[in-house]
A = this chain, B = another copy of it.
Amino acid sequence: MPEVATAAPAQPTQRRNGATLLFEHAHVTGAASIAGPVEGRGPLGGHFDELAPDQLMGQRSWERAESHLLARAFSRLCDRLHLQKGDFDLLLAGDLLNQTVASAFAARDLDLPFCGLYNACATFAEALGLAAALCDAGFCRRVAVGTSSHHEAAERQYRFPTEFGSQRPPSAQWTATGAVMVAVESAAAQRAEARITAFTPGRVIDYGVKDPFQMGAAMAPAAADTLAIHLGDLRRGASDYGVIYTGDLARVGVPLCEELLRARGYDLRLHDCGTELFDPEHQDVHAGGSGAACSALVFAARLLPGLRGGDYGRICLCSTGSLHSTTTYQQGESIPAVAHALTLEATSAG
């Protein structure tokens, strides 16, 4: 092996184009997913690593159950990769609960350095993008990325206690119960399942929607903005991707986002994690799924296996987040939204 001083200099890496961060050494080496009982009865039910039998999972509160889901997903990830928790340098995680306590309490049990993130249901893409940057640059060898959400815990925090039985309008979405942990690594490990090659952190966009039962409409402009910037920075179009997924625009938001993208010159057929997580014919989830776990569950159950198995050479995932709180809603504020886009490629590609 030649000494460092005489080795041929590598071309300097281009790490940014426009608003988009570019990666050469950010590998997804595995994911573990745990879904709730309703998600388990959905079309992806057979593709999760584990199904929770009920919403409490033996814990004394729904909030504890959500933390338990996240810690359990991490444990399964370690088992799958034959790793110990000390083999991870950092945990990047976030969730929907006030003060992101599901992540904080899980982090306590995981005993890893922990940076907490919050961009609502866009947190999954935010965390994957930041993990890719830290690994690509060599700051971390291996980062655990986790998000979770819990239907009952979210409903009582954001809307009504589920026992109250409040009627929901057709545009409402169903907060998914589940948790996902993903391993992102710098080394081109033999077992890499996909590479993260680009990340566009999005701007906060607010079109003035004030109804929290219209989250798809509130988030569609942010998704369109980030996707247009992501594709523009990479000089790519629909034909360059196997599939392009939004996070949880669901049935109301997807056509709005497609229309906004057409106005910017992108004629895209979007898939949506919130639309595919549940079966609209047989599950009473109204417009579709949502929650910080929503895009993470579909990533773990469908997108990553698709990259690993050769169904897709390249995909785009644009997770979408609605950045309101019950306080801002009650004060009559509109709902700002954010979306973060990632490009992932099969390890054989590129």
Complex contact B104–A336 (CB within 8 A)? yes
With the chains together, A340 CA to B47 CA distance in Å?
37
Complex contact B16–A101 (CB within 8 A)? no
Complex contact A126–B115 (CB within 8 A)? yes
Selecting from A261-269, A299-307, A325-333, the interface stretch reads A325-333
With the chains together, A228 CA to B282 CA distance in Å?
55
Q: Chain B residues with Cβ under 8 A from A100's Cβ? A: 118, 323
Q: In the complex, how many residues of chain A place their beta carbon closer than 8 angstroms to a beta carbon of chain B?
A: 70
Q: Tell me if A98 is interfacial: C-beta within 8 Å of chain B.
A: yes
Complex contact B113–A202 (CB within 8 A)? yes
From the candidates B111, B118, B134, name the one contacting A203 in the complex (CB within 8 A). B111
Complex contact A333–B201 (CB within 8 A)? no
A4-B9 contact, Cβ under 8 Å, with A101-B325, A113-B202: yes
CB distance from A321 to the nearest CB of B (A): 9
A7-B4 contact, Cβ under 8 Å, with A112-B203, A119-B116, A202-B114: no
With the chains together, A119 CA to B99 CA distance in Å?
8
Chain B proximity mask over A219-250: 1 for CB below 8 Å, otherwise 0:
00000000000000000000000000000000
Binding site for B on A (CB under 8 A): 4-5, 7-13, 15-16, 19, 21, 60-61, 63-64, 89-90, 94, 96-101, 104-105, 107-108, 111-120, 126, 129-130, 133-134, 136-141, 157, 200-206, 323-328, 331, 333, 336, 338, 340
Complex contact B99–A118 (CB within 8 A)? yes
CB distance from A143 to the nearest CB of B (A): 11
Complex contact B139–A203 (CB within 8 A)? no
Complex contact B203–A105 (CB within 8 A)? no
With the chains together, A134 CA to B202 CA distance in Å?
16
A99-B120 contact, Cβ under 8 Å, with A16-B138, A104-B204, A139-B21: yes
With the chains together, A101 CA to B323 CA distance in Å?
7
